[in-house]
Amino acid sequence: MSVVSFALNHMAAPGLSIERFFALAKSLGITSVEIRNDLAGNAIIDGTPASAVRALAVENGISITSINALQRFNEWNATREAEAIELADYARDVDAQALVLVPVNDGTGQADGERQRNLRTALAALKTILGDRGVRGLVEPLGFEICSLRSKREAAEAIEDVDGTAAFRMVHDTFHHHLAGEPDIFPGMTGLVHISGVDDPTVTVPDMRDPHRVLVDAGDRLGNVGQIRALVAGGYEGLLSFEPFSPVVQKLADPRTALAESIEFIRAKV
């Protein structure tokens, strides 16, 4: 597979320090990573300066694709604005290309009219904050039934409405795409793809949650291979970033071998 490359989200091995995480990526031949602001005892949440993380990335030949993430981004208020500025500053200083934007996911803000209005308000404000710092926003619709932004079509329309096509792209998450049941994939508006699989044969789609998300293999029920093929056929040439949340994956003694096997499987199928 030559038209897409892999990236590694720190959630794939959250127990590793930032140094060991970069080393893991490098050992797999992966040069792009996503760092997170929700891992206790690790950068960014432990106060590690952006300059230190940037230096480690340069030392390891690593490019930081994104910081993951500004949560509840479409509930725009003074608190969210302050969080956005802090994360955008960090992204700029660490030389990250983008900031992932995750919507409210607690059952609120879902009403028709309200959710579209909230989304446009947030995007309009973020366009300036991110643009001033040279950071792209990556809007990530979530497929959970309680999420305030499930539809990529709604996200794409809002981005266009705020004249934000230069400032924003979407995350196509194969797990959330499957849960949302939305057929359209918008490869031209996709800036990053998150990949994970679900192998559990017993869980129903509405009951799938983050702990079910493992590495992509032959037992995958989400149709990762088909989704990736469709994105590539539509012109997507960006990164496939591993983002498993299953404790089974996150506690592996040898994550490198498991990740290498998943990479090999996907390359053979796409």
Which regions of 181-223 does DSSP assign to beta strands (E)? 190-195
Q: Reduced to 3 states, what is the DSSP secondary structure of residue 67?
A: strand
Q: Could you read off the pLDDT tens digit of each residue along the chain, which spans 270 residues?
A: 456 799 999 999 999 999 999 999 999 999 999 999 999 989 899 999 999 999 999 999 999 999 999 999 999 999 999 999 999 999 999 999 999 999 999 999 999 999 999 999 999 999 999 999 999 999 999 999 999 999 999 999 999 999 999 999 999 999 999 999 999 999 999 999 999 999 999 999 999 999 999 999 999 999 999 999 999 999 999 999 999 999 999 999 999 999 999 999 999 999
pTM over 0.95: yes
187 vs 184: CA distance, rounded Å: 9
What single DSSP character describes residue 92? H
Backbone φ and ψ for 92, nearest 5 degrees, come out as -60, -45
pLDDT of residue 1: 42
67 vs 72: CA distance, rounded Å: 15
pLDDT of residue 4: 77
